[in-house]
Structure 1
């Protein structure tokens, strides 16, 4: 057996094996009898389970794994029905299987993901499971919103026992109890949602559909059934009755336009059909309510058996906490289990589509979201933020942007307008089209999403071109504006942000797939987009950061990726860490006892979080140079090409020598860079006066245009170097985290890192169709084995699974092709068999990785003091990102920054405020400025003694305060909340 969960071998005793198999068969028979399962499905489930049982170590209760095997077998077939043809599955619902096996939904999803990997289930089945899990997550979140909203509108459903209906039909039926209305409203919602698959796993649309159901029931109670006794007397509707939809949106984080769109295009027509079919009559009328309730429940049960799988009425049951694996529904004044709440929170937060977790590369500057922020409010706030970003703008170029187009040597306006129209048509066609993966949406929603994306596209394009024009001192923009990939990528990025804001189920890479855009090309625009739009919410930044990581770790390495042809054009030479990193000697250098690690250029830092400093007074050793320009990203010439100087010669370098005492000096080398506003800044990097490169390291030969030693610039430039720089940074962050958790010392970490880099540079084909984490984990294991460290695969996997990006698919389903060459292939599909063979990470390690890496790794063996042990590659350092000045308001020039040594940067019009010492009048002035708009002089005040907050009408490029302090993220969050609140009022 291959044991990924544990290194302990399983017993091979034949007698005990027969006893185990007999026990398993009895468990499956009992399960199938209770479910009345057909013999064919039961036989298939047993065969599949036996195959997995003989291969893997299955932790936990056997019956739970049997339930997974049974569910997979149930969904493979189809059942003929009267009047509706063939129905998918065998009409045994997931809810029944889980109840019989006593397996909660959250446990089921966790185990089913592992089962899909172990049994290599089809992609269609995996997508079905993903939709089912997302639908469950959406329902869980919405039910938590449903109860307090219902209690805000109606009486408490827990108040008193409902009256018993008389058995005789001759007796007059009693009015429905509020608890019946509560259950009916939820059932109506889940039934309606189930009939609109394009809504079911979309959080924003589902939430607004719930508000429509509440609005309908409230109107019936108020007018049609005259049941004012059901309504909460404290609920006040400002609209003319019976419609309260706008009021609900106002009180409970809804978006009026979106809610009315759902009501108009989906809810009202569907309810009308139910009335026409007489499934519904007057909803709450005493003579009709029981029949209405039965009809809705009957229809919903049929839906669950044939399509839905998950019976969402489980939230209404008394034992919902056990069946779901989450806490019992929370009623006011009724505390819930803290442990169960944490389980729910962890499950919801784990879903990148509902609440994106902060990637490891972003945890230095983006903290996890406050647990008090609900996914619904977060989603609706994202839509609100998106709408505010495009408020007052149009779906066409502005006058200023048109002027830029006309100033080009070749006016690109016609081509750009045509391209946007063509891309928009492709988007609408795919967004509204039904497919096997997901149903189509209404054309009105497609046009609404496209409108927002087009406005955002022209806004970002104008910002990017304006910044590039300033950076290049008015050079012609024709070359950039004629880049089709740039425009296609930018439009795709805008649509991705819009879809994410609406919590759409069309998640990345859906948008680039319909545009037929390679992930390697799309990644270039992500950082450009983030740096060009200050209005992005924290979740938008995190989402784009996650997408960039997905591309760097796997999507850019697929067999058909454009990366391979780009590498071929570059001579199949993968750059080393030294060659793509900026810093002293492009690596670690010692000056006396001073260790100076290289500076990494990642992760993406949003301009609201970090702005580049200007002036010589801001010289800092930990400030990285500015990002690669847009021209360089989309004109990526090879190192040494004459095109590098197309837009001007490299600026001259002038060193500034600082004495550190004890006869030690450090040279500061200025590097020209561009800040977020497009202003050229003179920044400084630490450089060694004696820059040398180890002769044993493999590097590219210098060219005439390579920077001279000591300049602190990377020796490989362009988009390919940017890609590998980010790949190395991402790998280093994840490796650092693993080493901390495994207690691996820095020397051993250096060997692991060098082994990983060697693999990436000299055996690049190992990444084709695979995942960056797979090479990292194998590198950790092989060096641990060679150096006699006691880190088992079990230990490594345990630590890996704690990382936010970890997925069982990474180590359970690894590509195992027939490797024929150690060289980088330039052909998209070369050496790829038609049928992919996949196995677990240990199989990959033993059959592929060791064969390629063993000879190099053995040079680090602890019992062999060989003189030819390779020197350690420089390990990228993660430096604390400058926290200031950080802008806390889009409307006002309001910034927070350290106050230490601030006297050198304050202008004559400036003044300061210290929380513990300055008079309150200074704060009053700040408040007046926020209310009335910008004032003429610069304002600054200190928070908690060492943080300066400044507000000014001056442009950000004019600020040049030294950054020698830090500000807690909670302080910035508080300031942003205060400013946002004032702006909203």
Structure 2
């Protein structure tokens, strides 16, 4: 046995990094992280000199620009804190430093109580003393430089939640508006407005076009109307496609009042041939929708139900749009919010525009594609158009072929399926309205209907593929399972939500589904579906429907990954009950696993992904015919029906570092007789196998970066496998990667390898797709989240210390 004197707890020195600040378990002291607004400890003479120089220069800057005293004071606190943490060297210039600290100070001063500020909830906050646009203009900093700097700083030091939330919201809004302005300027305006010189020089005998009638005036009218409409109709909605539909409605409304000689064909003819503005509007909007490949029925519905009543409320007594009134109304909103003045896109202000290509890519991730290439708006529109072309004409009720399948079943499932679909529609529409507002009930109905068409199409394809293999009894069992239909329908709706929910991501420089209020796993809660059931259908769904857009398939793959690493381990998951049932029944080994052989694979996005799983001739559909919880079966002594998992997993040729179950067998010299245990569940086996593959892949990558030996990797893997299969409660409400980091550090500590926890966390953060919350916000107890090191000290080691000590050199020798 190993000596009980071995200290496996984390005892590294304090650092400013959040992920490694919690080493108080051994010392009994509590590490207090300095927060802005508090005086930081005394620093070295060199730091103090640099700090004094920066403060002096910043004070002069504030005096010249009349920065309010409270904002200046809070900004100085941030400046001192960043200097003390040696973070100022990360910034390329003082102008970016000043923009950063003024922004932080302004949000902090306005929200001293953070997101729980009662004034924020009541909507009685005073307007900010300085806007983000003002900060950018006075410092000469581009908005993308500020975004990049803020995102770097939030990873390096503590920033209040109010600042993080404001940054996230502002960044999303900017991405939507910048992408739309790019399309508005480069495609929309060029398509509808004639290139006419407004000063009359081209045709000298003609008088110049009045300033209030020219193309520039109409462009300004369109953009001001869009910004105003967006605030009132689509506030906090990041969907790029819906915003583009709104922009088309705004352009169409302005075109009704535009002289035909300013318009290109066919819009000039439409303007002349229609007797009423309403008739012109419907025809003009239909032509715009056709030109830009947007479904005309959805756009016309938005026009009739939402935009037209709002536009009519803005007309003056002469029945016309007053541009000055539109701009004044928008200015009121801007001075209330004090974020970005988006009217300045029209004048192409340098602080708002995407940065040029010769800038450092890390500082210009929002560079938009050129007009002729696949712009964010064009890509979002193309994806929606593709979905409608493939499924828009699909069935909304069972086809004749589906009815034939239903009739083959011992019990016809038609009535049951109809009831499930009706209930799910009610749940979806109600939840959609609760998130988006009562005015979006029509949109919710449209999206459910499209999802329903995909559901029936995919269901028929699945049954066509499997009909020869399934008996009528198996078919009846499958088609009478609520979870099967809910899973296929939920996957169909997820496809629709993903397609419409795309937005421009400044960080990833691509169109993707942002983390909106309806992103995964929102839908699981709406339809009361277990993550494990949703997981069963993903591969089946993608194989059955080859016409899904590439972006949608990529999203479903990421959803699969998220279920494996996190969602299936949430409290209330059926995974825990199934695993604990097998453990409580005395099953000596975890569910039968397929060895994750081969090198770790990577997806096209660079994220880790499981290796292919051997199907042994079975279909993914069989997972719905296999219960998660097993049925009883008797095993005899030495039975091969429950082989040791370690014999089928990597490093099986290593004899050192046994698991506790293996140690018991070795000490007695024989394998004990196994009691009656639950029959292995195919769906549970496949899930655990996939989790193990994913965990092994990520562990191997991290171990390679840490230069761990093969023998050490074997011990780490054995520990990780033990966590997944024998102590699954450690994963409850937590992330698989948190277990991986803890297993690596524990094995390094017990084998006396000099690898710091901070090093593990730093390397982990560099992985594509790694989230900082994984290291900084680990579930401890109800409502309490701490760093991964606090979890390691207070929970992981408390549960696993006796097991881990078996791997110490004294024990194995």
Q: What interval of TM-score do these two structures reach, taking the shorter chain for normalisation?
A: 0.7 to 0.9
Q: Paired residue for 2:582?
A: 570
- Greater percentage in helix: 2
Q: Choose which of 103, 107, 112 in structure 2 pairs with 1:71.
A: 107
- Asked whether the 8 Å contact 2:576–2:728 carries over to 1, the reply is no
Over aligned residues, Cα RMSD in angstroms? 5.0
1:255 maps to 2:267: no
Within 1, Cα distance between the matches of 2:557 and 2:463? 23
Within 1, Cα distance between the matches of 2:691 and 2:134? 46
Q: Choose which of 184, 190, 196 in structure 1 pairs with 2:227.
A: 190
Aligned to 2:314, the other structure's residue is in SS state helix
Within 1, Cα distance between the matches of 2:589 and 2:335? 56
What's the CA shift string for 1:221-261, capped at 9, x where partnerless?
Answer: 334xxxx2x44579887896655434433443433233323
Q: Are residues 72 and 492 of structure 1, via their aligned partners in 2, closer, same or farther at CA, if it must alter by over 3 Å?
A: farther
Within 1, Cα distance between the matches of 2:430 and 2:733? 30
For 1:83-482, list aligned pairs within 5 A.
86=124, 90=128, 92-100=130-138, 104-109=142-147, 129-149=167-187, 150-155=189-194, 174-175=211-212, 178-197=215-234, 200-223=237-260, 228=261, 230-231=262-263, 243-276=283-316, 282-283=320-321, 292-307=322-337, 309-320=339-350, 322-323=351-352, 326-327=354-355, 337-339=357-359, 372-433=373-434, 435=435, 439-482=437-480
Within 2, Cα distance between the matches of 1:347 and 1:282? 37
For 1:821-860, list aligned pairs within 5 A.
832-833=781-782, 835-836=783-784, 838-850=785-797, 852=799
Deviation at 1:269, TM superposition (A): 1.7
Q: Choose which of 704, 709, 721 in structure 2 pairs with 1:757.
A: 721
What's the CA shift string for 1:292-320, capped at 9, x where partnerless?
Answer: 33322221122233357333234334443
- Asked whether the 8 Å contact 2:20–2:757 carries over to 1, the reply is yes
- Asked whether the 8 Å contact 1:575–1:761 carries over to 2, the reply is no
Q: Are residues 305 and 563 of structure 1, via their aligned partners in 2, closer, same or farther at CA, if it must alter by over 3 Å?
A: farther
Q: Are residues 442 and 794 of structure 1, via their aligned partners in 2, closer, same or farther at CA, if it must alter by over 3 Å?
A: same
- Asked whether the 8 Å contact 1:786–1:858 carries over to 2, the reply is yes
Aligned to 2:345, the other structure's residue is in SS state helix
Q: Are residues 557 and 40 of structure 1, via their aligned partners in 2, closer, same or farther at CA, if it must alter by over 3 Å?
A: farther
Q: Are residues 109 and 421 of structure 1, via their aligned partners in 2, closer, same or farther at CA, if it must alter by over 3 Å?
A: farther
1:4 maps to 2:17: yes
For 1:486-505, list aligned pairs within 5 A.
486-503=484-501, 505=516
- Asked whether the 8 Å contact 1:558–1:770 carries over to 2, the reply is yes
For 1:573-612, list aligned pairs within 5 A.
579-582=591-594, 586=595, 597=597
Q: Which moved more, 1:848-857 or 1:535-544?
A: 848-857
Q: Are residues 576 and 725 of structure 1, via their aligned partners in 2, closer, same or farther at CA, if it must alter by over 3 Å?
A: farther
1:775 maps to 2:795: no
Within 1, Cα distance between the matches of 2:19 and 2:474? 61
Within 2, Cα distance between the matches of 1:702 and 1:27? 79
Deviation at 1:265, TM superposition (A): 2.3
Gaps of 5+ in 2: 1-13, 22-32, 35-39, 92-96, 202-208, 275-279, 503-515, 605-611, 636-640, 642-647, 663-670
* Aligned length in residues: 710
Within 2, Cα distance between the matches of 1:855 and 1:341? 49
What's the CA shift string for 1:508-528, capped at 9, x where partnerless?
Answer: 122222233333443233223
Within 2, Cα distance between the matches of 1:472 and 1:643? 28
Q: Paired residue for 2:565?
A: 553
Q: Paired residue for 1:287?
A: none
- Asked whether the 8 Å contact 1:784–1:791 carries over to 2, the reply is yes
Structure with the bigger RCO (C-alpha within 8 Å, sep 6+) is: 2
Q: Under a length normalisation based on structure 2, what TM-score does the superposition of the two structures give? A: 0.73
- Asked whether the 8 Å contact 1:74–1:90 carries over to 2, the reply is yes
Within 2, Cα distance between the matches of 1:33 and 1:529? 63
Aligned to 2:397, the other structure's residue is in SS state coil
What's the CA shift string for 1:75-109, capped at 9, x where partnerless?
Answer: 555879xxx98357647544334545665444544
What's the CA shift string for 1:382-439, capped at 9, x where partnerless?
Answer: 2223223324432111222223223322222222212211111121122223x5xx54
For 1:464-863, list aligned pairs within 5 A.
464-503=462-501, 505=516, 506-571=518-583, 579-582=591-594, 586=595, 597=597, 625=616, 629-633=620-624, 635-636=626-627, 638=629, 641=632, 696-697=658-659, 698=661, 716-739=680-703, 746-783=710-747, 796-815=760-779, 817=780, 832-833=781-782, 835-836=783-784, 838-850=785-797, 852=799
Deviation at 1:507, TM superposition (A): 1.4
- Asked whether the 8 Å contact 1:79–1:86 carries over to 2, the reply is yes
Within 2, Cα distance between the matches of 1:482 and 1:742? 51
Within 1, Cα distance between the matches of 2:474 and 2:622? 11
What's the CA shift string for 1:319-338, capped at 9, x where partnerless?
Answer: 43x446x32xxxxxxxx525
- Asked whether the 8 Å contact 1:246–1:256 carries over to 2, the reply is yes
Q: Paired residue for 1:948?
A: none
Q: Which moved more, 1:718-727 or 1:694-703?
A: 694-703
Within 1, Cα distance between the matches of 2:164 and 2:587? 37
Q: Paired residue for 1:361?
A: none
- Asked whether the 8 Å contact 2:222–2:254 carries over to 1, the reply is yes
Within 2, Cα distance between the matches of 1:162 and 1:775? 72
Q: Are residues 694 and 781 of structure 1, via their aligned partners in 2, closer, same or farther at CA, if it must alter by over 3 Å?
A: closer
- Asked whether the 8 Å contact 1:198–1:441 carries over to 2, the reply is no
Within 1, Cα distance between the matches of 2:744 and 2:554? 28
Within 2, Cα distance between the matches of 1:761 and 1:852? 14
Q: Paired residue for 2:3?
A: none
What's the CA shift string for 1:435-461, capped at 9, x where partnerless?
Answer: 5xx545522211111111122222333
Deviation at 1:494, TM superposition (A): 1.5
Q: Are residues 848 and 514 of structure 1, via their aligned partners in 2, closer, same or farther at CA, if it must alter by over 3 Å?
A: same
Q: Paired residue for 2:666?
A: none
Q: Under a length normalisation based on structure 1, what TM-score does the superposition of the two structures give? A: 0.61
Within 1, Cα distance between the matches of 2:86 and 2:718? 33
Within 2, Cα distance between the matches of 1:255 and 1:775? 47
Deviation at 1:141, TM superposition (A): 1.9
What's the CA shift string for 1:52-97, capped at 9, x where partnerless?
Answer: 99899687455425523532442555879xxx98357647544334
Within 1, Cα distance between the matches of 2:176 and 2:330? 18
What's the CA shift string for 1:929-976, capped at 9, x where partnerless?
Answer: xxxxxxxxxxxxxxxxxxxxxxxxxxxxxxxxxxxxxxxxxxxxxxxx
Deviation at 1:562, TM superposition (A): 3.8
Within 2, Cα distance between the matches of 1:573 and 1:347? 58
Q: Paired residue for 1:946?
A: none
Aligned to 1:758, the other structure's residue is in SS state helix
Deviation at 1:770, TM superposition (A): 2.0
- Asked whether the 8 Å contact 2:179–2:376 carries over to 1, the reply is yes
Gaps of 5+ in 1: 164-171, 284-291, 328-335, 350-370, 588-596, 605-620, 645-651, 653-686, 708-714, 818-831, 869-985
Q: Are residues 71 and 472 of structure 1, via their aligned partners in 2, closer, same or farther at CA, if it must alter by over 3 Å?
A: same
Deviation at 1:789, TM superposition (A): 6.3
Aligned to 1:770, the other structure's residue is in SS state coil
Deviation at 1:627, TM superposition (A): 6.1
Q: Paired residue for 1:667?
A: none
